[in-house]
């Protein structure tokens, strides 16, 4: 292959790989094709939101809450950024499933972000906001 063709092929490969990664990420946020029959009639399935599995977000929120409980507000502020980014990236796949539930959880996340990003954050405010956020997530998971 000539040097010119090699130089042109490299950016194309990078674009193709980036597109594949983006599609894979979007696919991970899409609604599952079918729900196991055993879970349809269960009380948890009837109470749970159509948002689907929130465990990845719940795990990050639990990490943040643990940092707040230890009094490490700077680390909690840094860690909650991961929750914000993950939630924003999943919006297109989650919001259409259950818009009211999505907005409910989005507002709880916004309150937690506000509490931890305050000019002078207070541990009490962070604890209250994270407790509310984790409660909202548990309620939407049907737990």
Which of 38, 20, 25 is closest to 85 using CA atoms? 25
Strands (E), the chain: none
The pLDDT of residue 26? 42
Q: Which two tokens stand for residue 25?
A: 């990420």
**How many whole angstroms separate alpha carbon 136 and alpha carbon 130?**
10
CB 102 within 8 A of CB 51: yes
What are the φ and ψ backbone dihedral angles of 36, each rounded to 5 degrees?
-55, 135
Q: Tell me what the pLDDT averaged over the chain comes to.
A: 78
pLDDT at 15: 47
Q: How far apart are CA 142 and CA 138, in angstroms?
A: 6
The residue ranking higher by pLDDT, 4 or 37, is: 4
Label residue 142 by pLDDT band (50, 70, 90): confident
Task: Give the Cα separation of 93 and 124 in Å (integer).
Answer: 33
Of residues 5 and 92, the one with the higher pLDDT is 92
For 11-34, what is each residue's pLDDT tens digit?
Answer: 555 444 444 444 444 444 444 433
The model carries a pTM of 0.67
């Amino acid at each position: 292959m000539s040097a010119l063709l090699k130089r042109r092929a490299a950016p194309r490969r990078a674009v193709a790989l980036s597109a594949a990664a983006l599609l894979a990420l979007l696919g991970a946020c899409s609604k599952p094709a079918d729900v196991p029959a055993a879970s349809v009639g269960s009380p948890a399935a009837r109470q749970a939101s159509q948002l689907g599995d929130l465990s990845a977000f719940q795990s990050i929120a639990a990490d943040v809450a643990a940092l707040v409980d230890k009094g490490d507000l700077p680390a909690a502020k840094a860690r909650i950024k991961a929750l914000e980014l993950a939630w924003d990236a999943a919006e297109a796949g989650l919001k259409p499933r259950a818009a009211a539930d999505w907005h409910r959880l989005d507002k709880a996340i916004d309150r937690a972000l506000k509490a931890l990003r305050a000019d002078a954050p207070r541990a009490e405010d962070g604890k209250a906001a994270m407790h509310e956020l984790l409660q909202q997530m548990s309620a939407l998971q049907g737990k």
